[in-house]
Amino acid sequence: MDRERHIKPTTLILDSLHKERERGGFVSGEELADRLGMSRAAVWQRISELRGMGYVIEAQPHHGYRLANVPDRMLGYEIERSLGTGIIGRNVICYDAVSSTNDIAAEMAEKGEPEGCAVFAECQRKGRGRMGRSWIAPTGKNILMTFILRPRMRAVNAPQVTLMSAVACAEAIRVVTGLPALIKWPNDILIGDRKVCGILVELFSELDGIRYILVGVGLNVNVRREEFPGEIVETATSLLDELGQKVSRIALARELLQKLDENYSILRESGFSSIMDKWKEMSATLGRSIRVTWPDGKKEIGSAYALDADGALLLRRETGFTARITSGDIQILGT
């Protein structure tokens, strides 16, 4: 498990390179050395380190250095830089490989890590999804992330966090790609009828309330359909497959954290009704015929016609009676 490490002088050089990149210019090695109080040789050493990390840094005589491209890696510095969030993303930690980001976040939460910390990884060896399923993703192509929340709410209201997170994920995908992302209750994001993102929420509570909540997000970004395992190849998709071109994972991760922060603030300050309104506008479930698989394995067909105030899905049974779905699995059958 290799956590990304940032040496302060290297970070300061990156700050300067990014600022000059935004202005469209170069910065000389001499100016970098003067700004940062180091020798020209030390500047060159840090530039070499950055190139080794995958940064493309051009060098021209009499002009200096210019940042041409940022590596396609989950880098905490790049995700956090000028992010501007209030809670979610104020501490970003990135790893090359972990058992699962939820495992790492749980360890941190148990040690008292404040809410808002986001853990990213390029690879998960034991990624998991809802209802005990595994989450399989090739290395370095997707967004695999877990963030910690410590909301002041009753455990019975925790499903609101799942729906809030789904809204944020769908909004982020729409902003960055323009794709019409929709939400399948309770935790899947669809493009068309294929799943592009899944959300796993784990609740840790005591008698007097919630200790913390972990929200895991697995988003298929630059993986090709032929790379999906056989059991999901017919039901999954990626942003790459839908757009026909790669998507910046850094840009998407930043937008995702911003949308999560925005919607979590709405949930905390204004309550669930505003989140529910947004969820309804992006729902792929409401008004559709669905098959429900209940936790005991029984199945039934009905119409999904509403959410209640706690975020449960209301099913109109074929008998005309109503059932309240708080857990289980659903399959969308048609209109």
Same domain, 90 and 218: yes
Residue 1 belongs to a domain? no
Give the whole-angstrom CA distance, residue 228 versus residue 138: 9
Q: End of a domain among 281, 304, 326?
A: 281
Is there a cis peptide before residue 151, judged by omega within 30 degrees of 0? no
Eight-class DSSP state of 130? G
Per DSSP, the residues of 133-162 read -B----TTSSEEEEEEE--SS-GGGTHHHH
pLDDT in tens, the chain (335 residues): 555 544 466 888 898 899 888 888 899 999 999 988 889 999 999 999 999 989 999 999 888 999 999 998 999 999 998 899 999 998 999 999 999 999 999 999 999 999 999 999 999 886 554 444 555 667 889 999 999 999 998 888 899 999 999 999 999 999 999 999 999 998 899 999 999 999 999 999 887 789 999 999 999 999 998 888 777 778 899 999 999 999 999 999 999 999 999 999 999 999 999 999 999 999 999 999 999 998 888 999 999 999 988 889 999 998 889 999 988 889 998 76
246 SS3 class: coil
Residue 2 belongs to a domain? no
Q: Which residues lie closer than 8 Å to 333 by C-beta, 6 or more apart?
A: 288, 289, 290, 291, 301
Same domain, 45 and 181: no
Both tokens of 142, joined, read 């997707």
Same domain, 104 and 217: yes
Q: Supply the pLDDT for residue 232.
A: 78
Structural domain count, the chain: 3
Q: Where is 251: in which H helix or E strand?
A: helix 249-270
Give the whole-angstrom CA distance, residue 179 versus residue 213: 29
**Domain housing 35:** 8-69
Strand order in the sheet with 329-334: 322-325, 313-317, 299-307, 288-293, 329-334
Same domain, 114 and 32: no
Q: Supply the pLDDT for residue 126.
A: 66
The CATH number of the domain holding residue 330 is 2.30.30.100
Same domain, 141 and 259: yes
Residue 125 burial class via C-beta count within 10 angstroms: exposed 0-12, middle 13-18, buried 19 and up: exposed
Same domain, 173 and 240: yes
Residue 130 burial class via C-beta count within 10 angstroms: exposed 0-12, middle 13-18, buried 19 and up: middle
Tell me the residue type at 295: P
Q: End of a domain among 18, 44, 69?
A: 69
The CATH number of the domain holding residue 144 is 3.30.930.10
211 SS3 class: strand
Residue 275 belongs to a domain? yes
Same domain, 126 and 205: yes
Angle at 189 between CA 187 and CA 190, to 5 degrees: 135
pTM recorded for the entire structure: 0.89
Q: Angle formed by the axes of helices 272-281 and 159-177, to 10°?
A: 50
Same domain, 111 and 13: no
